[in-house]
Chains A and B, each alone.
Chain A
């Protein structure tokens, strides 16, 4: 605020000469003089030292905390200094700011949002809503030096003192609240301590912490309201979010000023009329010295407020001695029934204004009447006194008291002389004061003059005084009073004009920055209204007449001129009434036809007219304002040669008038489009412009645009920050900041800017569009669509919005809706391939690959090396399996940009498809080097290594893919395949189970899981799982096959046959189905059907069908020969087929032939287990024993003994087999044991054949049971082992 007394200058005394503590003394002086006469200042100074150091340390770096200002229920307000701008600020933080309650935080954010969106001289401006270093929210506001209304009320002593001034303050509060009410905001905590009185007469309503944004009556339900915010309305998290309704029953506010409905917690009833009540309560305090409710405790006050009985307060107001209208107004505002109160603060403000004006008028009249009456009365009195005096004198004469008379006469003469002398002195002083007042024209000077004149009138009112002097004094008094009233009116008018001038400059800057007509007209209307001009209600000619003589005439004309250039009648001949009125006002203010013609030419951007203007600019040179406007239009809307001419003219004009802000700014802006070569000239002009008007946002905003042109992000950010510091509502700057953040990928930050932007400027289409983009990027497509629709409703041809809407629709799977958007968008951007890229992607998504390629080709003509186009076309070709055409595109892509990850990845895929494994591997490895997180690269490379046989390398890559993308079930499946192919079925089962945890219904995983379980020996579990899948409606060929195999392994041939038949019916050409059914038919000796099936299959070109038919025909011939008891050589037959034929013989009752046929296989060593030859032989032997038991017991016993022996050997063979400890064996042993049970049934022996074992029944039965018990035990052991192995595998793969 103050400078150091240096720099020391030659000849200047040393400023520190005041002693060795000069610096400290200056600080002391600032303290002594910086807080004079202000309670708040005093409090501030005293509490500076009390500022908790915690916030001083935690405050945002930009601000230095200097002390605490105030403390409320919710927050603490600190005084600070903005280090960047050197200005004083007030910072509000929440109490307990490190972890505020969500509702408190929400209210705080809402306070910031509400206050930031209310722009009124009576509402404290918000500079910034930021965060402390700890992350706590901080609201930065203007620092106001002054005191609160509460302090002022308290200091005044009696209720009648300073009443006029207080009523004027109150009227300003009402005006501020009228503005807030007009925007649907209710304060809910209005009270004198929330009104700040600044040093220069400013009146500010503060603390919007309890403010509520009211829904409008015209608004639809909340959802609709969200998508259709109204003009000028306020938006907050709560109004836009689900928590917009305050908690019913909650009581917020201060009881002494609280309306009954608010005190009762009737949140639903709280509207502007609650604030009206609070205003009434403040008015009551101003008039009577106390608010309506007076109590000793908060509870007592709250009870009174709930009751709402204000009769006592009204009685007090009635006794206050003010005008009846004011009494009636205050009583109405305090009505218990809110319907009886004025509708809002506007109504209250209007009534107050009327009342004040009437009162001033009355006072003026009364003053004049009083002076006149006093004059008349004095003359009468003097006449009467003269008569009385004469009578007295006569009486004295008659009493002959001549001595006394003489003495009296002398006394009267002396007194008269004294009065004459004093009166002359007083009149001389009045004359002197009048001269002074005439020289200074101030209200105060006239007030002093009037006061002195009044003194003179009183002095000369004595009977002895000179009547002429008395009359002269009265005349002086009358004149001074009239002059005082005139000076007062003039001061008020000048003050309003001054304020309007500032407003006009800001509006112009705002309009130049963000060409919003609606916003311009609204702001102008408000500014004029504040200055007492109603552009809508007053006749234009009379309004122009009133304005013409004032200091605002020229600035207003220039502002309207700037605005009028955008009103092109050739496009819209009929304009809204308000716009017509403003144009008419402009014509009234500036009736010059030549200038009107120039304006029309600029508005329509008529090239011929502009050319003519620029060719002969003499008319413009005289008016730099119009010159700047014409050049601006010519540069931005005309042909190239006119652009050059415009710049030349601007440079010429700037040289002639370097102090003209708009010339400098317009030149700088135009030059910024002229490339890097013109940058120094542009920057010089920008520097000059911001030096001329540092507080006008437009120059900074344009400078940021220039930074974008020059690709200087740091400059861009600096300029935007500056622009927003100056005006947090600057639309273009806010939007550009958001775009900057989007470019950096900081979408959440961008969203904050955009939300603020569209709340402040609901008409800002680019803001809504960018908000849509941000929502789309933040995966909120539905919200993004709402924003795009809003934009397109206003601007149906906005290509960016069309394309982005199409992209979002596509992402939502609504391709049919997306296509027309994208087509229209692509057409609307003929030189930008973006729309076509998205359209091509849509067609790819729909499988219309050829069309997609055509679209990409069309776009590639515009941008032959556009990376996205090369990529997308390559992918489309790849999907069409045109790998040879796709590969060069990807190669070109990575040659142009060796860092293009997707290019490398797709090149890898194309090479892999083309069999160029080495190149594919290289491309995948490059992809992973550039970005290890690229989806599928590790997986695909893993598959390459898997094919190459590098199992460990493949496993590592699949695991890497899963680490980056834990939901990648395909990699789990591949890991399962790795396990299966390395015979680690336990590991395979576990890996596939991990995949199932991600995707529980994935078919391939389920099938592979069942298959692995089956291979592991858990055949029953495998069947159970596969059947469950079938029950869930998953019916596909692989599942059926797996089920058939599982049933077959379990020995349930019939079930297996059924599934295979069902599969064959659905897919007659599926080789597995054909072969499976053929085998089943063959085993049932249905040879003709088998042959027929395979013949048909061969005709349908089912692979191997013919070979199978020939093989089975041979087997059939063998079987027939064996059945006929012929001797058959079988040396070249596979063992499994050999045993199979034996089983067929047993089933068909040829046990003997089966035994003979198996004989060559039984001759090997006992521990070798060639399939199940011994088992099948044992079955045959048991059959024979059954057959012989009646006729030949001995033979039967021998057969049984043989059978028992083979079974024992087979079991032993199984045990040995199992001991080789391979998992493959484990599964096979389990399968074999299942067959054991099956073969027992095959043999037709369900239990120990006791009846046939008469001789050694007991021994035989024991041996039989022992055998099957051993088999059961072995099976149980195996089952347990499988479980253990799975547990170990789960642990290993964790």
Chain B
């Protein structure tokens, strides 16, 4: 994954063209988001085979000849997220319809499709949250890959973020640990947060080609979805 030299469209196009590595990358990025959406929609465990089937169905729908990816217009407003959501929602509707028909003929399914939430809006929010988490994860991975590549300053900042947000250490405690002044540690932490935010904007921009301002707005929207 090398963000500066790639956008998501290269991955998407690669996937559409059946490139093995692109397909793997495509699946790695979006499977979790899709699964989260189906889990939320159907109130079922993640390992439910219907969820797995629906994720696979969504990929098939995107990748088949003349499918979603081929039809997708990169200039489409909002980027790839709403497009993927639309495909997933159609797959969900299809699965629900099939299940209802099956239920009418045979025994009940373990997912009670008659009790499904009717509010698409809240489900869209589930999708957006899952998407936001995926973006956050990618931002972290981006920073980690750069730190591993030898950026000492970045390694330092990542360590601070981990100590605070992962280990739960207070700023004061981190300052004591590093033998630094507390105020200096606040400043360092703020810089680390700034770096992470920039990485996040970069990752979102990767999925959201367009003016940087649009990516900023998208970041803001995604973070608001987490509230």
Contact = CB atoms under 8 A, between A and B. Distances in A.
Interface of A: 1-3, 5, 9, 11-15, 17-22, 24-36, 42-43, 45-47, 49-50, 52, 70-71
Interface of B: 32, 35-36, 39-40, 43, 45-46, 125-126, 129-130, 132-133, 136-137, 139-140, 161-162, 164-166, 168, 170-171, 182-183, 186-187, 189-190, 193-194, 196-197, 200, 219-220, 223-224, 226-227
A22 B196 CA distance: 12
Given A47-B46, A50-B39, A28 B132 contact: yes
B50 to A, nearest CB: 14
A412 to B, nearest CB: 37
A887 B137 CA distance: 85
A33 B223 contact: no
A14 B133 CA distance: 26
B36 A46 contact: yes
A33 B158 CA distance: 10
B205 to A, nearest CB: 15
A45 B133 contact: yes
A25 B36 contact: no
Contacts of A18: 190, 193-194, 197
Contacts of B32: 42, 46
A149 to B, nearest CB: 15
A71 B227 CA distance: 25
Given A15-B186, A15-B189, A15-B190, A24 B136 contact: no
B165 A32 contact: yes
Nearest to B194: A18
Contacts of B39: 46-47, 50
Given A13-B186, A18-B194, A46-B36, A2 B129 contact: no
Given A17-B194, A21-B223, 10 more contacts: A2-B164, A2-B165, A5-B190, A11-B183, A24-B227, A26-B193, A28-B200, A36-B166, A46-B35, A49-B36
A905 B204 CA distance: 83
Contacts of B130: 46, 49
B46 A46 contact: yes
Nearest to B173: A3
B45 A71 contact: yes
A9 B165 contact: no
Contact of B223 (A24, A35, A46): A24
Contacts of A28: 132, 136, 200, 223, 226
A43 B47 CA distance: 10
A5 B35 contact: no
Given A5-B186, A29-B161, A31-B133, A50 B43 contact: yes
Contacts of A24: 220, 223-224, 226-227
20 contacts: A1-B168, A12-B186, A12-B187, A13-B190, A15-B190, A18-B193, A21-B219, A22-B193, A24-B223, A27-B223, A32-B137, A32-B139, A33-B140, A33-B161, A35-B137, A42-B32, A45-B133, A47-B39, A50-B36, A52-B43
B74 to A, nearest CB: 26
Contacts of A43: 46
Nearest to B143: A32
A676 B129 CA distance: 57
B71 to A, nearest CB: 28
Contact of A27 (B168, B182, B219, B226): B226
A86 to B, nearest CB: 11
Given A13-B190, A42-B32, A49 B165 contact: no
Given A27-B227, A32-B196, A49 B171 contact: no
A677 B220 CA distance: 60
Contacts of A11: 183
A49 B40 contact: yes
B129 A49 contact: yes
A29 B226 CA distance: 11
A74 B224 CA distance: 35
Nearest to A193: B47
Contact of B187 (A13, A25, A36, A46): A13
A47 B36 contact: yes
A485 to B, nearest CB: 30
Contacts of B133: 31, 45-46
A324 B69 CA distance: 55
A25 B200 CA distance: 10
Contacts of B161: 29, 33
Contacts of A27: 223, 226-227
A12 B36 contact: no
Contacts of B132: 28
A1025 B162 CA distance: 93
A732 to B, nearest CB: 33
Nearest to B129: A49
Contacts of B220: 20-21, 24
Nearest to B198: A18
Given A43-B46, A46-B36, A49-B36, A30 B224 contact: no
A33 B165 contact: yes
A24 B186 CA distance: 18
Nearest to B127: A49
Contacts of B129: 49
A899 B190 CA distance: 68
Closest CB pairs A-B (n = 6): A24-B223, A32-B136, A33-B165, A46-B36, A1-B168, A33-B166
Contacts of B126: 49-50
Nearest to A52: B43
Contacts of A2: 164-165, 168
Contacts of B43: 50, 52
Interface centre among B45, B126, B219 (most CB of A within 10 A): B45
Contact of B165 (A34, A46, A70): A34
A32 B223 CA distance: 12
A1267 B25 CA distance: 119
Nearest to A42: B32
Contacts of A31: 133, 136, 226
B165 A25 contact: no
A28 B138 CA distance: 12
Contacts of A36: 140, 162, 166
A5 B226 contact: no
B175 to A, nearest CB: 11
Nearest to A72: B45
B184 to A, nearest CB: 9
A5 B197 CA distance: 16
Contacts of A29: 136, 161, 165, 193, 196
Nearest to B188: A13
Interface centre among A2, A28, A52 (most CB of B within 10 A): A28
A1111 B22 CA distance: 132
Contacts of A35: 137
A2 B40 CA distance: 27
B36 A3 contact: no
Nearest to B196: A29
Contacts of B139: 32
A32 B226 contact: no
A752 to B, nearest CB: 33
A555 to B, nearest CB: 26
Contacts of A5: 171, 186, 189-190, 193
Nearest to B183: A12
Nearest to B222: A28
A18 B90 CA distance: 38
Nearest to B223: A24
A32 B190 contact: no
A45 B134 CA distance: 10
Contacts of A26: 165, 193
Contacts of B140: 32-33, 36
Contacts of B125: 49
Contacts of B40: 49-50
A1185 B158 CA distance: 137
A11 B186 CA distance: 10
Nearest to A22: B193
A1203 B193 CA distance: 129
A21 B224 contact: yes
